[in-house]
Amino acid sequence: MDSDIILVIVVGTALAFDFTNGFHDTANVVATSISTGAARPQVAIGFAALFNFVGAFISISVAATVAKDVVDAEVITPTIVFAGLIGAIAWNLITWYFGLPSSSSHALIGGVVGSAVAAVGFDAVLADGVVGKVLIPAVVAPLLAFLVAGAAIGISYRVVGKQRPGIVTRGYRYGQIVSGGLLALAHGTNDAQKTMGIITLALIANGSLGVEADPPFWVIASSAAAIALGTYSGGWRIIKTTGTRIIKMDAAQGFSAQGAGAAVILASTHYGFPLSTTHVINGGVMGAGAGKRLSAVRWGVAGNIFVAWLLTLPAAAAIGALTYGFTRIFGTGPLGPILVTLMALSLIVAAFARRAQQGAPVTAAGG
């Protein structure tokens, strides 16, 4: 009974994480379309939410990686998964508060690894999976997006360079409807699957599923809905960082950045790599900027984002480990997770209230 209560808390927390993931990543998905004038903000966000939802249904490769290749499912408990989720949510909200587009995915994996190490020790971590399926793709994917976007924008300018600017801008703006949709689809399929993987891991840990089981349909559907709702409610503050502070883009750059990001994320998803979609999209944006002119990229802002990226795994791991330690003060029952959930909800409400007091728009709908 106790473990079922914890499982319900974990599922609720995972869906809340999925919501914050969508909320946090709205900027990555729509910023280029908005900043180039290809779509009005509400339209871009609505499309992104819809494609996030659809994207969640097209693959389960990443979910399998998260559930089976990061930590040893046979020694994990639902409380460990819960603590990892809290680590990820806390880090997401901290970076959201400061307007930094860090990685929800790395926060999730960092949080779960941190809580697993705190609970069981390093034996619980599947080092091959973490290195081969998470860390190496984490380095390769943003670089790949950078290079592909840089090459793509170079080719674009060569092909359309002598055409009238009006036709070119209109053409790429139309193209951005497709490339933006694909990027949202890619984001939905990679990021929603991480939540599916985490819930599946918790179900396996609880004994509700076998170790080799795939995510049940209700897990897929609820993860899709949560990320789509989060995306629809997404934050303006990070949109500004991604869309205008890294580079000032034209429509061709926006198309190239989105196309490169979508291509890298979709290809990686197919092979089960749980990427940071944030890193990849920002890599594409920087590549599109650097491909036109190196000095067009505001490298100082890019550097701040890079530091946030570096901090994400260890910071989320530390919060996950501390959360697990805190829950154990109250034993192995549901009291610890319930108290942590109440504390986390209080902090979230306080953070939103403080942001509202500062006059900053909290959500897209509010902006």
Partner 1 sequence: MIATVVHTDELLKTVAAAVVAGIGVTFAFSLSIWGVGQFAELSRNERPVAAAGAAVIGALALAFVAAAVITGIIVMTR
Which residues here bind partner 1, judged by CB under 8 A? 58-59, 128, 131-133, 136-137, 140, 144-145, 148-149, 151-153, 155-156, 159-160, 163-164, 167-168, 171-172, 175, 178, 182, 185, 189, 252, 255-256, 259-260, 262-264, 266-273
Nearer to partner 1, 76 or 183 (CB): 183
Nearer to partner 1, 191 or 320 (CB): 191
Least distance to partner 1, CB of residue 70, Å = 14
Are 151 and 9 in contact by the 8 Å Cβ rule? The answer is no
Least distance to partner 1, CB of residue 89, Å = 28
Least distance to partner 1, CB of residue 19, Å = 24
Least distance to partner 1, CB of residue 175, Å = 5
> Considering only CA atoms, which of 244, 243, 236, 287 is closest in space to residue 263?
287
> Considering only CA atoms, which of 347, 337, 264 is closest in space to residue 77?
337
| Angle at the Cα of 137 from the Cα atoms of 122 and 73, rounded to 5 degrees | 35
Nearer to partner 1, 111 or 254 (CB): 254
Label residues 133-168 b or e (16+ Cβ within 10 Å = b).
Answer: bbeebbeebbebbbbbbbebbeebbeebeeeeeeeb
Are 103 and 25 in contact by the 8 Å Cβ rule? The answer is no
Distance CA 316, CA 115 (A): 9
Least distance to partner 1, CB of residue 288, Å = 10
Least distance to partner 1, CB of residue 355, Å = 36
Least distance to partner 1, CB of residue 141, Å = 8
Which residue reads 């801008």 in tokens?
Answer: 169
> Considering only CA atoms, which of 127, 109, 312, 116 is closest in space to residue 191?
109
Nearer to partner 1, 122 or 357 (CB): 122
Least distance to partner 1, CB of residue 56, Å = 12
Nearer to partner 1, 35 or 156 (CB): 156
Nearer to partner 1, 136 or 345 (CB): 136
Are 110 and 87 in contact by the 8 Å Cβ rule? The answer is yes
209 is written with which tokens?
């599923």
Nearer to partner 1, 284 or 334 (CB): 284
Q: Kindly give, in sequence order, each residue whose CB lies less than 8 Å from that of residue 265, ignoring residues fewer than 6 positions away.
A: 141, 183, 186, 187, 189, 190, 275, 277, 280
Nearer to partner 1, 94 or 134 (CB): 134
Please list the alpha-helical segments (H only) found in the chain: 2-35, 41-55, 61-68, 78-97, 104-120, 127-129, 136-160, 165-205, 217-232, 236-240, 251-270, 277-292, 299-329, 335-357
